[in-house]
Amino acid sequence: MKPVRMIVAGTANPHVMGYLRRADQEISLVFDAVADFNQQRLSQAKEVLKGHKTQYYTDWREMLDAHPEADAMMIGSDNKHHFEMFQEAIKRNLHIYSMKVASMDEDECREMQKLAANYDRVIQVEFELHFSPQFRYARKLIERGELGEIQSIYFTNISQSPINYFPDWGNPELSYGKIIPIRPGATIYRGGALTDHPHPYDMIRWITGREFKKVYAVSARNQRSHLQVEDHAAMTGELDNGVKFFINPSYANLEEKVPARRLLWPKSLECNLKITGTKGYYAADYFDKHFYVVGNNHVSPNRLVVDGTGRTKLHAEDSMVGVFVACVRGERDRPESTLDDSIAAVKVMNAAYESIYTDSEVYVNK
Amino acid sequence: MSEAFLKTLSIYGYLPKSTFTVNKKLMNNTKIIKPIEAAQCESTGEIFYTQYPLREWGPVKKIQQMIRDNISGDLCSVRFTWQRPKKEATGETEFLYETLAGLIDVSWELANSPLAGLHINRMAGCNNLFALASFANGIVAEIEMNECLPDSMPPTYFLKANFENGHGTNQPIVGHFNEEGAILANDAAMQRVVIENTDWDDCGDELAICHRKMLRSIELGEYPGGPLNTQPIIEAIRKVCA
């Protein structure tokens, strides 16, 4: 079957490089072109795709003009540019594969929803944790009522910050879209860990089937004094059925202060889920099939690192790309995670920012 | 000293029975009072001690030492996990005004700065809450307190401290108990389930999953045929065991 021809608008999101690295194994996708205004990032993409026939551009609009054969566009730029790329992709009738924050600007989000309302192409927003079987299992447990009535849910999404090795990372305007201090008078701005970790809101909605009602959030002093955006946030609140939640979306696992992705804390990502119900309890870890590695040629050399042991994919649709391709080919009705899912997460994230700013509880849908 | 306090001391394991016998004699005349009572005490000059056993908790002591020795720079945030099965749950007053108060007290000690804000999100009718405490110097304490675990589960008490240049914790790096798999528990039993794929979640056992994976590899033609290295392996075992 013919592969989906993809062009990539921006490589600011570190996940984009992950897709490009897997280009050799991904037979259902072909990357025709990559654009990035940042030469350093574009050079990284060229290096990763060495040997492929991919073409490169510094202007994403020029790339669009030069590739009328493209079926789909990956929106991987800084969040600030997502909206204009989204508009342009719609104008050109392309399928859209967007990195996970549609836009932090809720006016733009509403506009995107209007544009998407009668659009006959696929729009998928990347929420890859839907494909972690231990989290899918949590959803099943709740659907089957095995945990009883849910009382509380806890989700952490803690990583390192790519600040030292990813160009333009930590720029508040590029990340959040505008410059807003985290608290009145602060010199730390929105656009850090909270903006970068939309999974908890999406996962809690997806697992419980409920919406967020209200949130109270705090942000501690930054661990990284050179970072302009917040690197810590923690919040608690209530879902629309009264279930209490706790979320930590932080860069609270430190990286080495070198211009490369090197872990200091041995675990790159903490995604811990804990659900307490009247009949039972479930706890899952992103690395629940863990493996410890030390190696002098490892990306984090000579350091004990926690890795995973992989998962068995039984179907092509056991991955974000598989689902997207299946939707493009008409083999599946809707993507696993949608624009609406992303915007629902953005609303909670902005409510959390407002809560930090005002030091008060904030209702998500005011 | 109250029975509840004795129980708490033994839970933390820093007061062996024999030591306690001695201490009991020594402390007969020492006034130790609960935080809720201490909060009402006016300064009369009478000497008393406020009961905050968590000040002596190993991880707290260790983090204090890290701060004193400047091991990882300045402290930024701490996260507490306090979980117990229902059968070990305390009364509401103890839960709020001794345990939670104790966790805030040690957070304050670690932050070395006055409490600036406290938000508590409680589940009605049970000992289950999330709390966020902010201190004047920008340090935040995240507190998860849950005494509603199924009775089949053991208690867990963790503390993670995040510094400018490092971390300190007794929290497992992987999993709920530093073990393979997810945890699924009800009052009758607790199990560790390893979920390889949603379609195989009836399985939950790592070795059964390996068997399924082997069958799948054979089906896909990825598994090598023939006796493999079997002959010398079996021969070697026979030589030793026959």
Q: Is B76 in contact with A221 (Cβ distance < 8 A)? A: yes
**Radius of gyration, alpha carbons of chain B:** 25
Whether the per-residue pLDDT at A6 is higher than 90: the answer is yes
Tokens 């972690």 belong to A132
Is B198 inside any structural domain? no
Is B86 inside any structural domain? yes
| CA nearest neighbour of A22 among A67, A57, A74, A90 | A74
Q: What is the pLDDT of residue A116?
A: 97
Is B135 inside any structural domain? yes
CATH 3.40.50.720 segments of chain A = 4-121
CATH 3.30.360.10 segments of chain A = 131-314+344-363
Q: From CA A183, how far away is CA A304, in angstroms rounded? A: 37
Q: From CA A353, how far away is CA A278, in angstroms rounded? A: 32
Do residues B113 and B135 make contact, with C-beta atoms less than 8 angstroms apart?
yes
Structure tokens at A111: 């506009």
Whether the per-residue pLDDT at B17 is higher than 80: the answer is no
CB within 8 Å of chain A, chain B residues 156-195: 162-167, 173-176, 180-186, 193-195
Identify all chain A residues contacting B216, using CB atoms and an 8 Å cutoff. Answer: 312, 314
Q: Which residues of B74-110 are buried (b: 16+ CB within 10 A; e: fewer)?
A: ebbbbbbbbbbbeeebbeeebbbbbbbbbbbbbbbeb
CB within 8 Å of chain B, chain A residues 10-69: none
Q: What is the pLDDT of residue B175?
A: 85
Q: From CA B205, how far away is CA A88, in angstroms rounded? A: 49
Q: From CA A151, how far away is CA A244, in angstroms rounded? A: 7
Q: What is the pLDDT of residue B201?
A: 83
Q: Of B9-23, B110-124, B158-172, B198-212, which gets the smallest average pLDDT?
A: B9-23
Whether the per-residue pLDDT at B131 is higher than 80: the answer is yes
pTM: 0.93
Question: Quick check: A256 contacting B, CB < 8 Å?
Answer: no
Task: Compare all CA atoms of chain B with the CA of A307 and give the residue at the minimum distance.
Answer: B174
User: What confidence category does residue B132 fall into, taking pLDDT thresholds of 50, 70 and 90?
Assistant: very high
Neighbouring C-beta atoms of residue A298, cutoff 10 Å: 15
**Mean pLDDT, residues A324-337:** 95
Identify all chain A residues contacting B149, using CB atoms and an 8 Å cutoff. Answer: 276, 281
- Terminal-to-terminal C-alpha distance of chain A: 48
Neighbouring C-beta atoms of residue A94, cutoff 10 Å: 23
Q: Is B139 in contact with A137 (Cβ distance < 8 A)? A: no
Burial class (CB in 10 A: 0-12, 13-18, 19+), A65: exposed
* Predicted complex ipTM: 0.94
* CB within 8 Å of B149: residues ≥ 6 apart: A276, A281, B83, B84, B85, B86, B155, B185
Three-class DSSP labels, A238-273: EECCCCEEEEECCCCCCECCCCCCCECCCECEECEE
Q: What is the pLDDT of residue A317?
A: 84
Taking the CA of residue A130 and the nearest CA in chain B, the distance in Å comes to 11
**Mean pLDDT, residues B40-51:** 83
Task: Residue B97: give its domain's CATH number.
Answer: 3.30.360.10
Whether the per-residue pLDDT at B9 is higher than 80: the answer is no
Whether the per-residue pLDDT at B115 is higher than 80: the answer is yes
Task: Compare all CA atoms of chain A with the CA of B116 and give the residue at the minimum distance.
Answer: A359
Taking the CA of residue A342 and the nearest CA in chain B, the distance in Å comes to 23
pLDDT tens digits for range A171-212: 999 999 999 999 999 999 999 999 999 999 999 999 999 999
- CA A3 to chain CA centroid, nearest Å: 25
Nearest by CB: B119 against A216, A281, A306? A216
Identify all chain B residues contacting A218, using CB atoms and an 8 Å cutoff. Answer: 117, 119, 132, 134, 140
User: What confidence category does residue B21 fall into, taking pLDDT thresholds of 50, 70 and 90?
Assistant: low
User: What confidence category does residue B14 fall into, taking pLDDT thresholds of 50, 70 and 90?
Assistant: very low
Whether the per-residue pLDDT at A345 is higher than 80: the answer is yes
Domain with B94, as residue range(s), is 54-176
Q: From CA A28, how far away is CA B57, in angstroms rounded? A: 55
Give the residue ranges of DSSP H helices in A146-281: 172-176, 193-196, 199-208
Taking the CA of residue B173 and the nearest CA in chain A, the distance in Å comes to 7
Q: What is the pLDDT of residue B45?
A: 75
Q: From CA A281, how far away is CA A172, in angstroms rounded? A: 39
| CATH number for the domain formed by residue range(s) A131-314+344-363 | 3.30.360.10
Is B154 inside any structural domain? yes
Q: From CA A298, how far away is CA A261, in angstroms rounded? A: 11
Q: By percentage, how much of chain B surpasses pLDDT 70?
A: 88
Is B148 inside any structural domain? yes
pLDDT tens digits for range A68-103: 999 999 999 999 999 999 999 999 999 999 998 999
Tokens 């999404």 belong to A157
Q: Is B201 in contact with A137 (Cβ distance < 8 A)? A: yes
Helices A14-21 and A39-48 pack at an angle, to 10 degrees, of: 20
Number of domains into which chain B is organized: 1
Q: Is B132 in contact with A234 (Cβ distance < 8 A)? A: yes
Nearest by CB: B140 against A234, A281, A314? A234
Q: Which of the four CATH numbers 3.30.1600.10, 3.40.50.2300, 3.20.20.80, 3.40.50.720 does domain A4-121 have? A: 3.40.50.720
User: What confidence category does residue B7 fall into, taking pLDDT thresholds of 50, 70 and 90?
Assistant: low
Whether the per-residue pLDDT at A313 is higher than 80: the answer is yes
Nearest by CB: A314 against B79, B199, B206? B199
CB within 8 Å of chain A, chain B residues 202-231: 206, 209, 213, 216
Q: What is the pLDDT of residue B30?
A: 83
Q: Is B153 in contact with A284 (Cβ distance < 8 A)? A: no
* CB within 8 Å of A185: residues ≥ 6 apart: none
Taking the CA of residue B92 and the nearest CA in chain A, the distance in Å comes to 17
Q: What is the pLDDT of residue A27?
A: 82
Q: What is the pLDDT of residue A11?
A: 96
**Mean pLDDT, residues A252-272:** 93
Whether the per-residue pLDDT at A56 is higher than 90: the answer is yes
Q: From CA A39, how far away is CA B125, in angstroms rounded? A: 58
CB within 8 Å of chain A, chain B residues 66-95: 74, 76-77, 79
